[in-house]
Amino acid sequence: MKLYKNLIMILVLVFLVLPTSTITAQSEGPVYIVQPGDTLNSIAERFGIGINDLLESNSLVDPNLISTGTQLIIPSLPEVSGVLNTDVVPFGETIRSLAKRYQVPQELLNKLNRITSPSEVYAGSSLILLEQDNKVKLDSAQAMSTGSAFFDLAVGINDNPWKLTIQNKDPYTWIHNPGEVVYLSSSDGDTVLSPISPKIRSVNIAPLPISQGETVKIDIETNEPLEISGNLGEYPLSFSSLGENRFVALQGIHAMSTVGLIPLKLTFSDSSGGNISFQQSLLLKAGGFGQDPPLAVDSETIDPANTKPEENQVKEIVSIFTPEKYWDGAWMPPTANPECIKSRFGNRRSYNGSDYIYFHQGVDYGVCVEPSLAILAPAAGKVVFAGPLTVRGNTTILDHGWGIFTAYFHQAEIKVGVGDVVSPGQDIGTIGATGRVTGPHLHWEIWVNGVQVQPLSWLENMYP
């Protein structure tokens, strides 16, 4: 007993002599991961708290000392614990499905993101999502047949029915809609289903958000043979097969499209004649294009009487969809001097004192030091036009299949003819100064299903 009392006395003395500076109160609340472009002001506004409260809770003195990846405690949410990450909403996901995947109440996601209506959630938007220490994100899913219960599914997969019920219920409604997928803890061999339908494995869109002037890739995997059709805004989509139950569509977005939301509608048809349709808006952002200096050109080359018929002629050529894909792998630049770019795609333009109502529809490669004037085919294709045009000068257009065309303007010499099949790197012409030009250069365009897109993206990315 005496020894026990001595130990107690020693512990008390040790506690009394400890410096008080080592005992600090911990602020309560979740941890937010600072994202690119965040400031302390924007974070405080997003969570409805004062900057001073944010500084004090995180022992910060200078608000400028935060950077991407910094972890900040959010004191306005003391009832919440875990990590607040920002992620882009994939196509097909809703607040309801995200709440199930992350095992958090819909009301909490609405509060974190200040959402007042489900229509405010669209593919490509950024949402704050809560990852809780005691819960894992549910990445896999299974279908539950009509009339069955969580118990039936649990027996089939040898799992606990109460766990499935807890993971998939809405804590405030206890509703599981017929036809909805059931989310499970991920593990090897699990079946992955899109929230759109159990018949669909995944719908991936790249890039998200989409941008003016870019090529959008819609990659779909299904769990059974389906026919797929759809529209991206005003553009009808053309899907091609990439193997068993995998499909892809490539679509260009006009460089002067209105920034905001653009609807994507997909329809899936099975062998029995059943249809599934799903529509969700995608976020379309500005392309970040510059502005070229005002240009002085021959007035004949901007006269609508000349430009409109020629524009219609080119559009008719590039609006054909060839089911066969001619190219394979990465594309190469169309000149031996790819760094010699004189004007970039998308730049806004003024001709002969006009307003900036035009945009540059391709990339201009100039004639630099020790130039090579050869024009090279960037990928395999077939010549569908070769000849002179008023605005575009001596022109060659290649069909690469799947609705992809490339065009080469202002040539001094055309070295191929209609019907020729060209291979990557083949010399197809010579850089010149024919048509509407201010000097010798190659104007190179890429059309994706009837829309001109950023050509450099096809050198930087692998399609499909």
Type of residue found at 419: G
The residue ranges of DSSP E strands in 298-450, in sequence order, are: 341-343, 348-349, 358-359, 363-365, 374-376, 381-389, 393-401, 404-414, 421-422, 427-431, 442-448
**Confidence label for 194 from pLDDT (cuts 50, 70 and 90):** confident
Q: Could you tell me the CA-to-CA distances from 103 to 144, 311, 347, 390, 431 in Å, in that order?
A: 19, 53, 45, 62, 60
Shared domain for 124 and 146, answered yes or no, is no
**Confidence label for 298 from pLDDT (cuts 50, 70 and 90):** confident
Name the 3-class secondary structure at 145: coil
CA 60/CA 209 separation, integer angstroms: 33
Cβ neighbors of 285 (< 8 A, separation 6 or more) are 209, 210, 211, 212, 259
- The larger pLDDT score, comparing residue 197 to residue 321, is at 321
Q: Is residue 3 part of a domain?
A: no
Which residues, in sequence order, are bridge partners of residue 72? Answer: 32
CA 287/CA 273 separation, integer angstroms: 41
CATH of the domain at 246: 2.60.40.10
For range 18-47, the mean pLDDT: 72
Range of weakest confidence among 16-30, 36-50, 158-172, 389-403: 16-30
For range 364-372, the mean pLDDT: 85
Shared domain for 316 and 443, answered yes or no, is yes
CA 445/CA 378 separation, integer angstroms: 11
Which pLDDT does position 459 carry in this prediction?
97
pLDDT exceeds cutoff 80 at 59: yes
Cβ neighbors of 63 (< 8 A, separation 6 or more) are 39, 40, 41, 51, 55
Range of weakest confidence among 22-31, 205-214, 216-225, 254-263: 22-31
- The larger pLDDT score, comparing residue 1 to residue 402, is at 402
Range of weakest confidence among 129-138, 213-222, 361-370: 129-138
Q: Which residue from 433, 222, 399, 415 is spatially nearest to 323, judged by alpha carbons?
A: 399
Name the residue range of residue 97's domain. Answer: 31-131
Shared domain for 273 and 307, answered yes or no, is no
- The larger pLDDT score, comparing residue 2 to residue 279, is at 279
For range 102-111, the mean pLDDT: 88
For range 212-230, the mean pLDDT: 96
CA 343/CA 409 separation, integer angstroms: 14
Instruction: Please tell me the total count of domains within the chain.
Output: 4
- The larger pLDDT score, comparing residue 187 to residue 463, is at 463
Shared domain for 50 and 101, answered yes or no, is yes
CATH of the domain at 325: 2.70.70.10
Q: What is the pLDDT of residues 114-145, one digit of tens each?
A: 898 888 889 998 899 998 877 777 765 555 55
Assigned token pair, 7 = 């130990």
The whole-chain average pLDDT of the chain stands at: 85
Q: Is residue 177 part of a domain?
A: yes
| DSSP single-letter state for residue 400 | E
CA 216/CA 20 separation, integer angstroms: 59
Q: Report the chain's terminal Cα–Cα distance, integer Å.
A: 79
Q: Could you tell me the CA-to-CA distances from 45 to 61, 68, 123 in Å, in that order?
A: 19, 18, 23
For range 98-103, the mean pLDDT: 84
**Confidence label for 157 from pLDDT (cuts 50, 70 and 90):** low
The domain boundary residue, chosen from 131, 160, 192: 131
pLDDT exceeds cutoff 80 at 185: no
Shared domain for 362 and 275, answered yes or no, is no
Which pLDDT does position 15 carry in this prediction?
37
User: Is the preceding omega at residue 90 within 30 degrees of 0, hence cis?
Assistant: no
Which pLDDT does position 297 carry in this prediction?
83
